[in-house]
């Protein structure tokens, strides 16, 4: 019977029941047409609830299996400062001077400069910290966060059976916020380490630790995102798992586990405006933590790979300007001369699509992958160049600790030429290159001014930026810059290669 005929039949049945059918039939026929469907769904749901205790049992078994491996960590750092009570403003009782942490913004307190030099006696006090950790080997190795124990003079670990043990800091790695501790004790229960690469968004997880000082607290949630960079390591290596399992201060360093009882992350940070749990927490993937731990244990330090290339993420416009489809990959901005990348034949403008056979989704992922590669390893790098893909072998080098910070370059003279992008430029002389921290042999033009509200301003260009290519064509001087710019249409978009503070970047500008 068609749906139209069925509709008519129901309407007729309702009329019949209203006129002379039984009360039971009348009540049934006056019920909403979908009532029987809802009843069937409710019955099916109750039948399915029989499986719910299985999930509850999984959570309980996971907690029982992992909690004996979770420890609370208290750290003590002894600090000696000049007596802070001497920092009182003269004639203003109870009003303190400028706090030390603000002096770098406001300078010294002018009231203090008027004070006679008074003897300042040293005063000792202790800073205490609280966090969590997880035992990962039967001989007492413990994984936690660097920020839980950084600079500590004493570290004490409290196990699940209330034993308090003095811990030794085996090593720390600020770049990933991982620390490794060691305790000497018997009958320790080590938690197995899982594989964080196998995780997917939606996987159930549990966080265990000592939030707000409440030891052995268990919370549950899911993996809500992966590959997050949140800036807590100040330029370090981040590839955080994001979870909605409740994480609060004190959870730092504790394990994030799957429902197999395996550690798949080390809880590290939360995103919060209040300082408490807001539904977004971050954990270091255990594969990254394990690699750092193994190097600290075996070598006493962490070494990282480098290829000597500056990289950035792709935008739709940048990708299109290179004839590349999509935004996944890492765009090479610059290649350091005589670096592994240079020796392998990598160039600025290459788009890295795979590294060691694995797809590259972002510049940060590529950076992390290279850093995790042992120095002297020959790595395969797939790139997109001039509309084609090719694979180049790169001999990964050793990343040293000489990360240099460069001062903001000066804008230079204001004599310049204007162009359609809303900026003015001037020749890049050897003297100006030296002032900007560039090599004296660097060619190009220097931005002398940027018009407020222009597309150049919206694109982030600044006075002092050196433009070395326009639309893929190198510009060595003002004449070449004018000639190449004359062929560009701002409405179609213009790709610039810019040197800022010694690093190359591609910037795409377009009107509208």
pLDDT digits (tens, 9 = 90+) for 334-391: 898 999 999 999 999 999 999 999 999 999 999 999 999 999 999 999 999 999 999 9
Instruction: Tell me the C-alpha distance between 266 and 233, whole Å.
Output: 14
For 191-215, how does the pLDDT look when each residue is reduced to its tens digit (9 = 90+)?
Answer: 999 999 999 999 999 999 999 999 9
Residue 269: which of 285, 250, 282 has the closest Cα?
Answer: 282
Distance between CA atoms of residues 430 and 439, nearest Å: 8
Mean pLDDT of the chain: 81
Is 350 designated active site? no
**Phi/psi of residue 408, nearest 5 degrees:** -65, 130
Average pLDDT over residues 114-137: 70
Q: Which of 72, 75, 252, 363 is catalytic?
A: 252
pTM: 0.66
128 vs 6 pLDDT, higher one = 128
Please compute the mean of the pLDDT values over residues 220-239 and round it to a whole number: 89
Q: Which of 10-24, 54-68, 316-330, 336-350 has the lowest mean pLDDT?
A: 10-24
Question: Looking at 109-118, 296-305, 375-384, which range is the least confident one?
Answer: 109-118
Assess whether pLDDT exceeds 60 at residue 411.
no
Average pLDDT over residues 21-37: 50
Highest mean pLDDT among 88-97, 145-154, 483-492: 145-154
* Predicted pLDDT at 33: 54
Residue-wise pLDDT tens digits, 126-163: 778 899 999 999 999 999 999 999 889 999 999 999 99
Phi, psi dihedrals of residue 68, rounded to the nearest 5°: -65, -20
Q: How far apart are CA 208 and CA 62, in angstroms?
A: 11
Q: Is 252 a catalytic residue?
A: yes
Model confidence band, residue 424 (pLDDT cutoffs 50, 70, 90): confident
Active-site residue among 72, 74, 132, 177? 177
Higher-confidence position of 320 and 92 = 320
Q: Which pLDDT belongs to residue 79?
A: 61
CB-facing half-sphere around the CA of 452: CA atoms within 13 A = 0
177 is catalytic: yes
Structure tokens at 373: 């590669």
**pLDDT at position 248, please?**
93
Q: For 232-257, what is the mean pLDDT?
A: 92
Mean pLDDT value of segment 43-52: 76
Give the residue ranges of DSSP H helices in 328-376. Answer: 340-344, 363-371
pLDDT band at 419 (very low <50, low <70, confident <90, very high): low
Assess whether pLDDT exceeds 80 at residue 122: no
Cα–Cα nearest to 479, from 507, 443, 505, 451: 443
Q: Confidence class of residue 32 from pLDDT cuts 50, 70 and 90?
A: low
Work out the average pLDDT over 238-252.
95
User: For the chain, give me the number of helices (H) and strands (E)?
Assistant: 14, 28
CB 268 within 8 A of CB 292: no
Question: What mean pLDDT is predicted for residues 28-32?
Answer: 46
Candidate list 132, 147, 419, 424, residue with the active-site label: 147
Comparing 10-19, 263-272, 303-312, which segment has the lowest mean pLDDT?
A: 10-19
């Amino acid at each position: 019977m068609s749906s139209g005929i069925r509709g008519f039949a129901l309407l007729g049945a309702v009329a019949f029941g209203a006129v002379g059918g039984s009360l039971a039939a009348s009540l049934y026929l006056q019920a909403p047409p979908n009532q029987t469907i809802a009843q069937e769904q409710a019955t099916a749901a109750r039948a399915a609830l029989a499986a719910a205790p299985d999930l509850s049992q999984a959570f309980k078994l996971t907690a029982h299996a992992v909690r004996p491996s979770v420890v609370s960590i208290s750290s003590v750092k002894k600090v000696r400062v000049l007596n802070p009570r001497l920092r009182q403003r003269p004639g203003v009782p109870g009003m303190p001077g400028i706090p030390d942490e603000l002096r770098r913004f406001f300078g010294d307190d002018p009231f203090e400069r008027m004070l006679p030099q008074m003897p300042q006696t040293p005063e000792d006090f202790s800073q205490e910290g609280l966090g969590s950790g997880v035992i990962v080997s039967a001989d007492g190795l413990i994984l936690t966060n660097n920020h839980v124990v950084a600079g500590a003079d004493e570290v004490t670990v409290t196990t699940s059976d209330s034993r308090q043990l003095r811990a030794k800091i085996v090593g720390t790695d600020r770049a990933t916020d991982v620390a490794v501790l060691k305790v000497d004790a018997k009958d320790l229960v080590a938690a197995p380490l899982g594989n964080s690469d196998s995780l997917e968004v939606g996987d159930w997880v549990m966080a265990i630790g000592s939030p707000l000082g409440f030891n052995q607290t268990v919370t549950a949630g899911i993996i809500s995102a992966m590959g997050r960079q949140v800036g807590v390591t100040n330029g370090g290596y981040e590839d955080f798992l994001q979870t909605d399992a409740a994480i609060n201060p004190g959870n730092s360093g504790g394990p994030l586990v799957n429902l197999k009882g395996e550690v798949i992350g080390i809880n590290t940070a939360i995103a919060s405006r209040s300082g408490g749990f807001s539904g977004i927490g971050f954990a270091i993937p255990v594969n990254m933590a394990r690699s750092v731990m193994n190097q600290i244990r075996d070598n006493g330090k962490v070494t990282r790979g480098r290829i000597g290339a500056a990289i950035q993420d792709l935008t739709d416009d940048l990708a299109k300007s290179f004839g590349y489809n999509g935004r996944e990959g890492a765009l090479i901005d610059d290649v350091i001369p005589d670096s592994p990348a240079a020796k392998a034949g990598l160039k600025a403008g290459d788009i890295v699509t795979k590294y060691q056979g694995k797809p590259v989704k972002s510049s940060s992922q590529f950076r992390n992958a290279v850093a995790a590669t042992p120095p002297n390893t020959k790595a395969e790098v797939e790139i997109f160049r001039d509309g084609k893909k090719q694979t180049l072998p790169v001999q990964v080098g050793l990343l040293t600790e000489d990360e240099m910070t460069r001062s903001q370059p000066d804008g230079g003279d204001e004599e310049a030429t204007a162009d359609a992008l809303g900026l003015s430029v001037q020749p890049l002389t050897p003297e100006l290159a030296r002032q900007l921290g560039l090599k004296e042999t660097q060619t190009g033009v220097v931005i002398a001014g940027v018009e407020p509200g222009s597309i150049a301003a919206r694109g982030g260009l600044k006075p002092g930026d050196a433009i070395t290519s326009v639309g893929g064509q190198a510009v060595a001087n003002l004449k070449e810059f004018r000639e190449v710019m004359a062929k560009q249409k701002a409405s179609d978009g213009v790709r610039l290669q810019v040197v800022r503070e010694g690093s190359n970047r591609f910037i795409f500008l377009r009107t509208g």
